Structure 1
Amino acid sequence: MKLKLTTLLPFLFCVFMIHAQEEAQETLTNSLEDQFVDVVDNSNNYQDYKVIKKTKINKLRENIMDSIAALETEIQTSETSLDQQKNKIASLTQELAKTQEDLALSRKKENGIELFGMLTEKSTYNTIMWSIILILLLALGFFIYKYKNSNSVTKEAQLKLAETEIEFEEHRQKAIEQQQQLRRKLQDEINKNRKSKS
């Protein structure tokens, strides 16, 4: 008989534990409203009053307190999560602003060219470069014109110089001839004078 009792006792203990767990699960799975309805409906009536067992009221109070604690924990967890998300959003907003600044600077650099240490837009750079090229071409044209003009003036002056040299040479030849003729005449006169004195 003792043997049967010792084998039956653990079996009964297991059945009791399973039943208690099912009741606890049932209590937890029931909403608070269902539990209130259950307590009120299963309570006894006495005149106009309901008589509720202390164990049921205590169990309901315990469940309510557990639910409140769970809700408070959930609220705290949600608030913590919300704070973390706010911090993350603020951090991401700062990163986005920095990225947008970097992008704007990068686009500005992409659309611009460094000129004399300053970042200039490509259109302004092209305008400046083409203006410089046009000015240089105009200056080159002006210098070519001046060179050709000076070259023609120089050639003309050289031609006049050559003509003047030829004229001077002719004039010199004539002057030499005239001097020679004058010397001859003078010599002839001197000779005549000598002959006439002798």
Structure 2
Amino acid sequence: MLKKIVFFASIIFFSSNLIAQENDNSIKNQFNGVIEKSNSYQEFKVIEKTKINKLRKNVLDSIAFLEQKIIDANSTIKDQENTITSISNDLKTTQENLTVSKGKEDGMSVFGVTTKKATYNLVLCSIIGALMFFLILLFYRFKNSHSITKQTNLKLSEIEKEFDVHRKKTLEQQQQLSRKLQDEINKSKKS
């Protein structure tokens, strides 16, 4: 039981010290407390060495803490600057890649030369148009030539028929003449 009482008493004592420290924790409050608790001598204030040493130690601890906080903040700032630089470089690379991609999207590579799609389409349509023109021209000329050839073939067949008729006539005439000649020769031999 005595142990429990001592235990609870020590907890209450330490918690009251902690509460008191929480209230006096700021440097401003510590300076005010030292000045209020100091004695006055004529126009001077007399401060106990322990209080001033404690105040000095607390100020130095606060300064060290704040310096460490500044170092940590500077480190964080440097890390963030490095991150920003890295992100900026990534953004530049991404923008360059985007520009290249847009160029590739807007253009086409023909025989190793990159041209815009509009130019490519214009050239391709011009080539197709010229080929269609030549195809129509060739078709027209072929049709003309074909009709001329057809007419010539018709005339040729007519001439061949006439020639055959003429040849037959001539052959018949020659045969008749040959018969007549033979008849005459035969008559002449008989006579």
With the length of structure 2 as denominator, give the TM-score of the two structures. 0.79
- Of 17, 27, 37, 2:24 maps to 27
Alignment length, in residue pairs? 191
Q: Aligned residue for 2:88? A: 93
Q: Deviations over 1:71-129 (max 9, x none)?
A: 01111111121122122222222332333334334434444455456654432332233
Which consecutive residues of structure 2, in runs of 5 or more, have no partner in the other structure?
Answer: none
C-alpha distance in structure 2 between counterparts of 1:33 and 1:109, whole Å: 67
C-alpha distance in structure 1 between counterparts of 2:16 and 2:151, whole Å: 133
SS in structure 2 opposite 1:169? helix
C-alpha distance in structure 2 between counterparts of 1:47 and 1:179, whole Å: 177
C-alpha distance in structure 2 between counterparts of 1:121 and 1:106, whole Å: 13
Q: Aligned residue for 2:57? A: 62
**Cα RMSD for the two superposed structures:** 3.1
Structure 1's 7 and 124: CA in aligned 2 closer, same or farther, altered over 3 A? closer
Map residues 107-186 of structure 1 onto 2, 5 A cutoff. 107-113=102-108, 115-116=110-111, 120-186=115-181
C-alpha distance in structure 2 between counterparts of 1:64 and 1:98, whole Å: 50
With the length of structure 1 as denominator, give the TM-score of the two structures. 0.77
Which consecutive residues of structure 1, in runs of 5 or more, have no partner in the other structure?
Answer: none
Percent of counterpart pairs with the same letter?
46
C-alpha distance in structure 1 between counterparts of 2:4 and 2:133, whole Å: 120
Map residues 69-88 of structure 1 onto 2, 5 A cutoff. 69-88=64-83
- Of 38, 53, 60, 1:43 maps to 38
Q: Aligned residue for 2:189? A: 194
C-alpha distance in structure 1 between counterparts of 2:88 and 2:4, whole Å: 69
SS in structure 1 opposite 2:31? helix
Q: Deviations over 1:6-50 (max 9, x none)?
A: 99866765554334323322221x3x3343343234322223322
